[in-house]
């Protein structure tokens, strides 16, 4: 029904307008009591899908990636579509409008999107208020820096977000890999990234001690455009800093093999969707093999079918996330992936918290 009727209608509208429309429809549906109906149709209830990773129990390994619920407004409602976890953000200390529009483009021939949103969000304090509701799902907090903050002061922004969200999220995702904030990806270089992650790790431990709770897992979200040498650096940095895992990967600045019109291919921004599937899986496999499977990985990028998700799990991911595939394939994709995981009976990659 979604691909045959709803998607063609939604795709007549501007992508960002569709996003806001969809949000409003989900909000209305929840208010009139349809959440239970959504859970009945989309949630696969089977304990064999549960995953234990860095001290968190996920009801299933399929999550919604950051960027969909930027301001933590509908994480519970979105979980009704079958997700095992929802990552909110990217959040910054101060509210910011992001880049000027138009800033999302559909590449229908490639089942892809190009976006240059630029960390548009209402600020971390607003999100914290939203997160005070009871959670029906594991929630990750994706954090970044404000556009006006120079890189040498970036750690302060990330620390503000960590401090503010610590009581309310289950894990943190450190976003230094978006291509839409000028200079942000320079923070992936070894020296600044090591310093940033160590600062976050130290503050995390301090907050945990103050509240007499366990530290929150910290994951690093990386770009797919890194070289093998840079990926080896990432492995070393993760181990050296003692953070808990990697999210691979963010959107790409590459444009190889696209079929969309030239004017679309030349739009600035990060490319997501099917064209990213192969490269993100390559990155996952490289990280898993070179780290001897010692670093938990959440795989994201180009998952449009159950087989796409299974490929990432076989490559070494413990969990997967959707975004563009959710837009193109609809909410039924989550259920299909979970059923395929049960049928495939893959070995479960469980991981305790790293010390």
Active site residues: 178
Angle at 11 between CA 39 and CA 332, to 5 degrees: 25
CA atoms within 13 A on the CB side of 175: 26
CA dist., res. 120 & res. 100, Å (int):
10
CA dist., res. 49 & res. 60, Å (int):
5
CA dist., res. 174 & res. 56, Å (int):
18
Q: Phi/psi zone of residue 2: left (φ > 0), alpha (ψ -120 to 50 degrees), beta?
A: alpha
Q: Phi/psi zone of residue 54: left (φ > 0), alpha (ψ -120 to 50 degrees), beta?
A: left
* Gyration radius of the chain over CA positions: 19
H/E stretch holding 264: helix 262-265
64, 75, 150, 278, 338 from 81: Cα distances, Å: 10, 10, 39, 26, 12
Sheet holding 104-107, edge to edge: 104-107, 112-115, 270-273
24, 58, 71, 79, 224 from 131: Cα distances, Å: 18, 18, 9, 14, 30
The conformation of residue 292, written as its DSSP 8-state character, comes to: T
Angle at 86 between CA 222 and CA 275, to 5 degrees: 45
Cβ-contact 90, 178 below 8 angstroms? yes
CA dist., res. 81 & res. 41, Å (int):
8
């Amino acid at each position: 029904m979604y691909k045959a009727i709803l998607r063609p209608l939604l795709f007549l509208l501007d992508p960002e307008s569709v996003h806001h429309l969809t949000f409003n429809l989900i909000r209305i549906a929840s208010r009139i009591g349809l959440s239970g109906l959504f859970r009945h149709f989309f949630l696969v209830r089977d304990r064999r899908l549960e995953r234990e990773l860095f001290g968190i129990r996920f009801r299933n390994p399929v999550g919604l990636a950051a960027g969909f619920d930027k301001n933590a407004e509908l994480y519970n409602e979105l979980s009704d579509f079958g997700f095992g976890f929802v990552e909110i953000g990217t959040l910054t200390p101060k509210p910011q409008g992001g880049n000027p529009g138009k800033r999302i483009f559909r590449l229908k021939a490639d089942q892809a999107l190009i976006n240059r949103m630029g960390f548009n969000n209402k600020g971390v304090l607003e999100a914290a208020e939203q997160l005070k509701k009871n959670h029906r799902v594991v929630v990750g907090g994706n954090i970044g820096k404000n556009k006006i903050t120079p890189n040498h002061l970036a750690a302060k922004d990330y620390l503000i977000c960590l401090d503010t969200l610590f009581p309310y999220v289950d894990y943190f995702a450190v976003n230094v890999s978006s291509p839409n904030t000028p200079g942000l990806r320079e923070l992936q270089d070894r020296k600044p990234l090591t310093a940033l992650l160590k600062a976050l790790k130290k503050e995390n431990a301090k907050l945990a001690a103050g509240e007499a709770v366990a530290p929150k897992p910290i994951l690093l979200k990386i770009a797919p455009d890194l070289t093998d040498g840079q990926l080896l650096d990432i492995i070393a940095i993760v181990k050296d800093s003692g953070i808990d895992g990697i999210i691979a990967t963010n959107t790409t600045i590459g444009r190889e093999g696209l079929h969309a019109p030239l004017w679309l291919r030349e739009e600035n921004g990060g490319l997501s969707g099917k064209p990213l599937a192969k490269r993100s899986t390559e990155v996952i496999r490289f990280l898993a093999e070179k780290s001897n499977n010692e670093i938990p990985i959440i795989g994201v990028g180009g998952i449009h079918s159950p087989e796409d998700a299974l490929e990432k799990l076989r490559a070494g991911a413990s969990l997967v996330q959707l975004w563009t595939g959710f837009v193109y394939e609809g909410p039924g994709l989550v259920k299909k992936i979970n059923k395929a995981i049960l049928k495939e009976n893959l070995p479960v990659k469980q991981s305790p918290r790293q010390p």
